[in-house]
């Protein structure tokens, strides 16, 4: 007798790819076991947010690797920053970084956060993210693939 598809999905383990040796991914886990992140949109087009939502959705399920998005920077181990740093968001980002307790990690997600992307030199852009806060990990891509986001988060947790 064949098991129904629902039972097969309950009893089978999820298929997980091994973490590759990416130079941007930390070699030793900085936050072994779990990582709580506060997402900060510094001025994005929401392309990166869609991919972050996809990374935490059931298909990729970043939570199974011990990563969660939290609502307060005081409850976070780090920040996940998306978008180009606009003039209006420079000071709030600095305050948010200082609200996260030490040790913390700052992750730049997407080309705009990494190097300004196509908005480099625009009027409303303050500067690159690295000039305002120190970024520990960078995830390139416009928008980055959810697998790349998961790979970096797995490197940080070691899971």
Per residue in 80-133, pLDDT (tens digit) is 999 899 999 999 999 999 999 989 999 999 998 998 888 888 888 887 888 889
| 138 falls within a domain | yes
CATH code for the domain of 46: 3.40.50.12280
Q: How far is CA 139 from CA 23, 26, 52, 91, 156, in A?
A: 11, 12, 11, 23, 13
Query: Residue 152 belongs to what domain range?
Result: 37-156
21-62 confidence digits (pLDDT tens): 555 554 466 778 889 999 999 988 899 999 999 999 999 889
| 10 falls within a domain | no
Q: How many domains does the chain have?
A: 1
DSSP 47-88: HHHHHHHHHHSTTT-GGGGTEEE-S-GGG-SEEEEES-EEGG
| 46 falls within a domain | yes
| 13 falls within a domain | no
H/E element, 150? helix 146-157
User: Band of the pLDDT at 18, cuts 50, 70, 90?
Assistant: low
The CA distance from 30 to 129, in Å, is 21
| 23 falls within a domain | no
| 8 falls within a domain | no
Give the global pTM: 0.79
pLDDT at position 145 is 93
| 4 falls within a domain | no
| 124 falls within a domain | yes
């Amino acid at each position: 007798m064949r098991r129904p598809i629902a039972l097969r999905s309950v009893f089978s383990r999820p298929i997980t790819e091994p973490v590759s040796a990416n130079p941007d991914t930390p070699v030793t886990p900085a936050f072994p076991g779990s990582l709580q992140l506060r997402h900060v949109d510094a001025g994005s087009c929401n392309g990166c947010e869609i991919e972050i939502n996809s990374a935490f959705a059931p298909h990729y399920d970043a939570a199974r690797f011990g990563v969660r998005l939290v609502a307060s920077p005081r409850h976070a181990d780090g920040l996940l920053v998306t978008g180009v740093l606009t003039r209006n968001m420079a000071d709030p980002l600095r305050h948010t970084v200082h609200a996260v307790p030490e040790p913390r990690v700052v992750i730049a997600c997407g080309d705009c956060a990494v190097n300004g992307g196509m908005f480099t030199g625009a009027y409303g852009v303050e500067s690159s993210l690295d000039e305002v806060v120190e970024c520990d990990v960078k995830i390139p891509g416009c928008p980055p693939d959810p697998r790349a986001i998961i790979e970096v988060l797995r490197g940080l947790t070691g899971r």
